[in-house]
């Protein structure tokens, strides 16, 4: 697991210097007093068309970007600790004459104006978004089939969505939006590099350059092993709820079980073919149903679902059968798409086996 994106801010006890050529001064119209000075977001450019965004508002410094990507052509592998990511930002900030982000040592409650909620403040940096990610191998030319397979599975009460090009699967809320707490996705890494990174490097360095040859090595490596990228975008609301937003006051190993749960999503996809015998057998073998009669009744719900039957989920028996089927990766509350079930087998003895991606010896690690 490594980090793919970081948004962080810190409130200092002094006004920050201007680093751009423009600034906005907020004035109290009654007294004429200058309240604060804000600057438009500054995009700090690195090499290989990479950048991070820096925003200054009075005494608040905010930085957002991909620290594992800055000054690199790609980020197949990135920084594995938050400290490495923050230090990457701090090197840039020091070069611009700005203060570095520091770890929190304490937090306390502060009240604002009348009617405002009490808020938690700290003496260090605060995270508002963190992306955690991993690379997995599914085998050459198996990426799209794997994505179709997992696009049948709900995750954290979110509904799966397979993109029209079958290169990405993400999970949305019932309102069709990205999760307010966690926005997860899995995508074909070689396709993403070819679509977004390759054209930029070609324009910058030409088609016959060492940079292009290196990037093609990375893309070919992803294609050979069938690399899919698992990514979870942890939003501000989630970080606050789990007390993971104050830099230095939490153990980042807590991200690992959350990410492992996401990586193990495919283990629920254990029905090899959608037929009466397989589902019934699976329900009994997994001790989900205690006898054949109960398993057959639950299986009939799956068969009806496959034929487009709509269920009343307010009924207790429907809830019971849905809960049983969800344990083997079938959610009858979602529309049935038979094309997703028929193209991939993901089992313990599966045609597609999920493996870790090893870093090749020639790979250029982030510095």
pLDDT digits (tens, 9 = 90+) for 69-105: 999 999 999 999 999 999 999 999 999 999 999 999 9
Report the distance separating Cα 162 and Cα 151, nearest Å: 6
What pLDDT score does 340 carry? 57
Query: Token digits for 318?
Result: 């429907």
What pLDDT score does 142 carry? 86
Residue 337 has pLDDT above 80, yes or no: no
Q: Sign of dihedral through CA atoms 294, 298, 303, 308? A: positive
Going from N- to C-terminal start, the domains of the chain cover: 2-268, 276-342
Report the distance separating Cα 237 and Cα 329, nearest Å: 28
Contacting residues for 326 by C-beta, under 8 A, at least 6 apart: 154, 268
SS3 (DSSP) at 234: strand
Report the distance separating Cα 194 and Cα 244, nearest Å: 34
pLDDT confidence tier of residue 345, bands split at 50, 70 and 90: very low
Report the distance separating Cα 184 and Cα 133, nearest Å: 10
Nearest to 126 by CA among 39, 277, 295, 239: 239
> Going by DSSP bridges, is the β-strand pair 126-137/159-162 parallel, antiparallel, or unpaired?
unpaired
Contact status, residue 20 vs residue 99, Cβ threshold 8 Å? no
Contacting residues for 176 by C-beta, under 8 A, at least 6 apart: none
Mean pLDDT (whole number) for 266-281: 59
What pLDDT score does 271 carry? 42
**What pTM value is reported for the model?**
0.78
SS3 (DSSP) at 239: helix
Contact status, residue 137 vs residue 225, Cβ threshold 8 Å? yes
Contacting residues for 53 by C-beta, under 8 A, at least 6 apart: 41, 42, 43, 44, 63, 64, 65
> Interior CA angle at 33 toward 29 and 36, to 5°?
100
The residues facing 232 across adjacent strands are 132, 184
pLDDT confidence tier of residue 273, bands split at 50, 70 and 90: very low
**Cβ-based neighbour number of residue 138 at 10 Å:** 26
pLDDT confidence tier of residue 339, bands split at 50, 70 and 90: low
Nearest to 227 by CA among 352, 323, 99, 138: 138
Report the distance separating Cα 256 and Cα 274, nearest Å: 33
Contact status, residue 29 vs residue 77, Cβ threshold 8 Å? no
The residues facing 301 across adjacent strands are none
What pLDDT score does 338 carry? 61
Contact status, residue 3 vs residue 78, Cβ threshold 8 Å? yes
Residue 220 has pLDDT above 80, yes or no: yes
Higher pLDDT residue, 219 or 150? 219
SS3 (DSSP) at 193: helix
Residue 267 has pLDDT above 60, yes or no: yes
Q: Sign of dihedral through CA atoms 303, 307, 313, 314? A: negative
Query: Token digits for 325?
Result: 């089927």
Query: Token digits for 97?
Result: 């004459």
Report the distance separating Cα 37 and Cα 227, nearest Å: 46
Report the distance separating Cα 36 and Cα 306, nearest Å: 61
Contact status, residue 324 vs residue 312, Cβ threshold 8 Å? no
């Amino acid at each position: 697991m490594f980090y793919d994106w970081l948004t962080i801010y810190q409130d200092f006890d002094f006004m920050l210097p201007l680093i751009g050529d423009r600034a906005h001064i907020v004035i109290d119209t009654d007294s004429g007093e200058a309240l604060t000075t804000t600057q438009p977001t500054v995009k700090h450019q690195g090499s290989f068309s990479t950048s991070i965004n820096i925003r200054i508002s009075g005494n608040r410094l905010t930085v957002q970007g991909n620290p594992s990507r800055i000054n690199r052509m790609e980020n197949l592998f990135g920084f594995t600790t938050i400290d490495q990511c923050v230090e990457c930002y701090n090197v840039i900030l020091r070069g611009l004459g700005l203060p570095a982000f520091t770890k929190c040592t304490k937090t306390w409650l502060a009240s604002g104006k009348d009617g405002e909620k009490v808020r938690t403040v700290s003496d260090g940096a605060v995270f508002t978004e963190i992306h955690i990610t991993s690379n997995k191998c599914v085998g050459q030319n198996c990426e799209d089939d794997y994505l179709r397979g997992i696009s049948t599975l709900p995750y954290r009460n979110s509904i799966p969505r397979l993109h029209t090009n079958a290169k990405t699967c993400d999970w949305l809320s019932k309102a069709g939006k990205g999760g307010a707490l966690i926005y997860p996705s899995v995508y074909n890494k070689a396709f993403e590099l070819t679509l977004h990174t390759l054209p930029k490097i070609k324009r910058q360095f030409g088609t016959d350059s060492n940079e292009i040859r290196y990037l093609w090595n990375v893309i070919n490596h992803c294609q050979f092993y069938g690399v899919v990228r698992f990514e979870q975008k942890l939003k501000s609301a989630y970080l606050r709820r789990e007390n993971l937003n104050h830099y230095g006051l939490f153990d980042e190993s807590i991200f690992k079980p959350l990410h492992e749960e996401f990586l193990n999503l495919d283990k629920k996809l254990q029905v090899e073919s959608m037929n009466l015998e397989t589902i019934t057998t699976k329900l009994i073998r997994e001790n989900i149903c205690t006898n054949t009669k109960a398993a057959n009744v639950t299986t009939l719900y799956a068969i009806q679902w496959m034929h487009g039957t709509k269920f009343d989920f307010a009924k207790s028996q429907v809830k019971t059968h849905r809960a049983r089927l969800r344990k083997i990766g079938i959610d009858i509350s979602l529309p049935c798409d038979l094309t997703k079930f028929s193209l991939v087998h993901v089992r313990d003895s599966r045609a597609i086996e999920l493996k870790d991606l090893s870093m090749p010896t020639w790979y250029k690690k982030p510095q």
